[in-house]
Homo-oligomer: A and B are copies of this chain.
Amino acid sequence: MGKVYVIGLGPGAEKEMTYQASTALEKSEVIIGYTVYTGLIRERFPDKKYLSTPMRQEVVRCEMAMDEAMKGRTVAMVCSGDAGIYGMAGLLYEMGQGYPEVELEVVPGITAANGGAAVLGAPLMHDFAVISLSDLLTPWEKIEKRIRGAAMADFVICLYNPSSRKRADYLKKACEYILEYQSPDTVCGYVRNIGREGEDAHILTLSELKDTEVDMFTTVYIGNSQTRNVDGKMVTPRGYRLEE
């Protein structure tokens, strides 16, 4: 009986990988993923069969994993971050209905929200909302509703996919919605290339963020009403009463 591990390698792969991920890779005969991620682990696990597909061919990649597992093999499907957060885990479970013999196991990883937060300081110490600004599979009205809902309820907000060539002004729009509920001085931050070469972090106000251009390798944080800039770190207090 074949098995597919769906493994998140963490934002920068390698150093944020967990022991559990390492053990699952060790057990696997076939490792499937984008070349950029498999390249990072090939050195540590040289004696495996490596398979990959071009970007965006996610259904093909899942079929590849299922086909290998149907041959009785143990397969690792690897991705950056956590496979369970905007990753491949959901698609595999849905496709898995067609392959009832194949066992699936998700091995969690450090997602960008957590990895970037550690770089900025401690922005996610209180309730937070994670929102992707990609409207490839989600209508923009739904995204707008979520941004407004989160800002209105004073969540710390973490934005994935804040930009791309086709939607250069999405972050600006998101900030404009949030500015209807939160102060222009709200402490914000962003991190580019989390855990990778060229890692780059900035802390700024919400009104400054509105006019900042970021790329698709960036994760953005908007503080809640209590978030402060503590000596250049973005810090959200754990509670409210202590501050009053």
Contacts and interface: CB of A to CB of B under 8 A. Distances in A.
Interface of A: 10, 14-20, 22-23, 82, 84-87, 89-94, 96-97, 100, 104-111, 114-115, 117-119, 121-132, 136-139, 142-143, 145-146, 148-150, 152-155, 230-231, 233, 235-242
Given A107-B118, A150-B153, 8 more contacts: A18-B18, A19-B22, A85-B117, A86-B238, A90-B238, A93-B235, A106-B118, A129-B155
Contact of A150 (B104, B118, B129, B242): B129
A237 B231 CA distance: 41
Nearest to A91: B238
Nearest to A160: B127
A199 to B, nearest CB: 13
A141 to B, nearest CB: 10
A23 B17 CA distance: 12
Given A18-B10, A18-B15, A20-B16, A136 B85 contact: no
Contacts of A92: 122
A110 B19 CA distance: 12
A86 B126 contact: yes
Nearest to A106: B118
B137 A239 contact: yes
A153 B87 CA distance: 21
A240 B137 contact: yes
Given A148-B153, A153-B149, A231 B97 contact: yes
